Structure 1
Amino acid sequence: MEFTQVSDLDFNISRVTLGTWAIGGWQWGGTNEQESIDTILKALNMGVTTIDTAPIYGFGKSEELVGKAVKEYGNRDEIQIATKLGLEWDENENVERNTSRERILKEFEDSLRRLQTDYIDIYQIHWPDLKNDFKETASTMLQLLDRGKIKAIGASNFSVEQMEEFQKYAPIHIAQPPYNLFERGIEKDVLPYCNKNNISLLTYGALCRGLLSGKMDEDWEFKKGDLRKNTDPKFQGETFKKHLRAVDKLKEYASEELDQTVLNLAVRWILDKGVDSAIWGARRPEQVTFDEVAGWKLTDKQIEEIESIVEEIVEDPIAPAFMAPPE
């Protein structure tokens, strides 16, 4: 496993982070608790040290499973737990943004309880909340940092302008935007800004919700409640077929030019584009093959060829904004 330092802080994260959104079950057609725990344990045993979760992933379920797995594994001080704040929900699963001081402090204690820990390594604002003053949010986060309750402050799904405003009141050590071969919007601004300002990039959606796994076809069946079937336009009609054609071409390139799978190509591409750690979601142990992206790199020429394949087939990329909760 490869590792990298977080911003200017005195701790490292693994360059592949285990993502646990799907493990939470909500919007992914349910979950299997033991299978989920086994998945987390396999990742840890493989050398992954960083786990990304959030309260909204299954309305606490993902955090609970991460907490159980980490407790079973032990060595808490060698693991970096990244979780989030700022989304609240009601009994009907309606979700809205809330980063008020009161909400942050409540969420923090709830997360500690579910994760069975007394500190959080990376605490991230899940989505920018424009109803609340950034000063209130940032100052609350800074207090948690100064008290040693968290080790790093993160901002997920923030624009450059929002990060600049937030940093008037508190530092940002980690940014978590979406990034993969089909969703490359951050290349225009967020990626170069973070690289220039020593903000570590922990990007999500490495496999574009399974598209880049190389396992899907036009007849793929999604479980009831799976957001890909009902919400994500990349998985609808002709757009889905077009993305699958691009994956087939990438699969061919990965095999012939690199002797790799398209899945490994997709993650390695992210790591070689200036990203510190790529979040790789898994919900079953057999999906944990993270070690296969370590120890090799893509050349500039190969990166150019890979991007050309996608650009020739997917002429009009769809941004992942459809996943944003209401402001």
Structure 2
Amino acid sequence: MEHTRLAHADIEVPKIGLGTWAIGGWMWGGTDERAAIDTVHAALDRGITLIDTAPVYGFGRSEEIVGKALAQYGRRDRIVLATKVGLAWQDGRVSRDSSPARIRQEIEDSLRRLGTDYVDIYQVHWPDGAVPFEETAAALEALCAEGKIRAIGVSNYSPEQMAAFAKAAPLATNQPPYNLFEREIEGGVADYCVQQGIGMIAYGALCRGLLSGRMQADTRFTGDDLRLSDPKFQMPRFGHYLEAVRRLDAYAQEQYDRRVIHLALRWLIDQPGVATALWGARRPDQLDPVDAVMGWSIDVADRVAIDAILRECIPDSVGPEFMAPPENVATA
């Protein structure tokens, strides 16, 4: 496993981390606790020592499962545990709340569910326009001083929002959506993070499974699966993205003797400023491709060829905007 040291925190992170949104079950068709715990253990055994979770993933379920897995595994000091703050929920409806009172409540709830007395990286899940960023940052800085968190991060923040936040507390990480198909952060968020030494923890690395190479035109999603509301998974766009995957897979085999899943992850972890790419898995076997992502890189000529494939196959690309919870309007 390759590693990166965060510039603004004394923390070393693996280039691939385990994302546990799906483990929480909500919007992913439920969860199997035993398989989820086995997956966390398998990830740690492979050197995937950063575990990323959030209270809203299954409304506490993901954190509870991660906590059980870590209690059984031990070696807490070798694990980088990242969770989030700033989303409230009621009857399945999610809203943004980054107030100091909410932060105080959430850190205690998260520590209890995770079975630990500190979190390594504590991230504001979405920007809250109703609370000054400096006020949120100051509340997190206080948690650092108390030893309840080691480093502060944000997620889904713009450069302007990060700059306002950083006036009150140093930012170690930003977690944006980023993958071969969703590259909206390039030139803005990504450049700012590189310039400021903020490590990016990229989520959606395989674009909700699209870049796994396992989906077909007849793949169906049921229940509360979020891909039912993702424009990428609706025809005719779904067909365009699948054609891109087919061609990227052929290219990966021809040039690197790898598959599209390896190409997508290698491309991502080699991007400037990316400290970690989150790999979402619910079963141990879904981690099998990890080893083939390590130990090589994509050259400039192949990056150009990859971009050409994307342009030719996807005439109407769309981003991850559909996932954003309703925004709050700043109060006077």
TM-score category (smaller protein) = over 0.9
Aligned: 1:79 with 2:79: yes
Q: Distance in 1 between matches of 2:287 and 2:43?
A: 6
SS in 2 for 1:186: coil
Unpaired stretches in structure 2, ≥5 consecutive residues: 328-332
Q: Distance in 2 between matches of 1:234 and 1:212?
A: 12
Q: Equivalent residue for 1:287?
A: 286
Aligned: 1:302 with 2:302: yes
SS in 1 for 2:236: helix
TM-superposition CA deviations, 1:217-249 (whole Å, max 9, x none): 0100213110102x1000011011110000000
CA RMSD of aligned residues (A): 0.9
Query: Which letter does structure 2 place at the counterpart of 1:66?
Result: V
Q: Equivalent residue for 1:153?
A: 152
Answer whether contact 1:7 1:174 (CA < 8 A) is retained: no
**Where in structure 2 are the equivalents of 1:239-318 lying within 5 Å?**
239-274=237-272, 275-289=274-288, 290-318=290-318
Query: Which letter does structure 1 place at the counterpart of 2:196?
Result: N
Q: Distance in 2 between matches of 1:188 and 1:126?
A: 22
Q: Distance in 2 between matches of 1:206 and 1:214?
A: 13
Aligned: 1:45 with 2:45: yes
Q: Distance in 1 between matches of 2:220 and 2:316?
A: 25
SS in 2 for 1:35: helix
Count of residues in correspondence between the two structures: 325
Unpaired stretches in structure 1, ≥5 consecutive residues: none
TM-superposition CA deviations, 1:273-295 (whole Å, max 9, x none): 11111011011111012222111
Q: Distance in 1 between matches of 2:124 and 2:86?
A: 6
**Where in structure 2 are the equivalents of 1:1-327 lying within 5 Å?**
1-90=1-90, 92-229=91-228, 231-274=229-272, 275-289=274-288, 290-327=290-327
Q: Distance in 1 between matches of 2:202 and 2:145?
A: 26
Q: Distance in 2 between matches of 1:7 and 1:66?
A: 27
Q: Distance in 2 between matches of 1:2 and 1:120?
A: 22
Q: CA deviation at 1:270?
A: 0.4
Q: CA deviation at 1:110?
A: 0.3
Aligned residues: percent identity?
A: 53
Q: Distance in 1 between matches of 2:145 and 2:300?
A: 41
Query: Which letter does structure 2 place at the counterpart of 1:267?
Result: L
Q: Distance in 2 between matches of 1:173 and 1:324?
A: 23
Q: Distance in 1 between matches of 2:9 and 2:20?
A: 25
Query: Which letter does structure 2 place at the counterpart of 1:265?
Result: L
TM-score normalised by structure 1 residue count: 0.98
Q: CA deviation at 1:317?
A: 1.9
Q: Distance in 2 between matches of 1:201 and 1:128?
A: 16
Q: Distance in 2 between matches of 1:163 and 1:265?
A: 30
Flag as ranges the 4+ runs of structure 1 deviating above 2 A: none
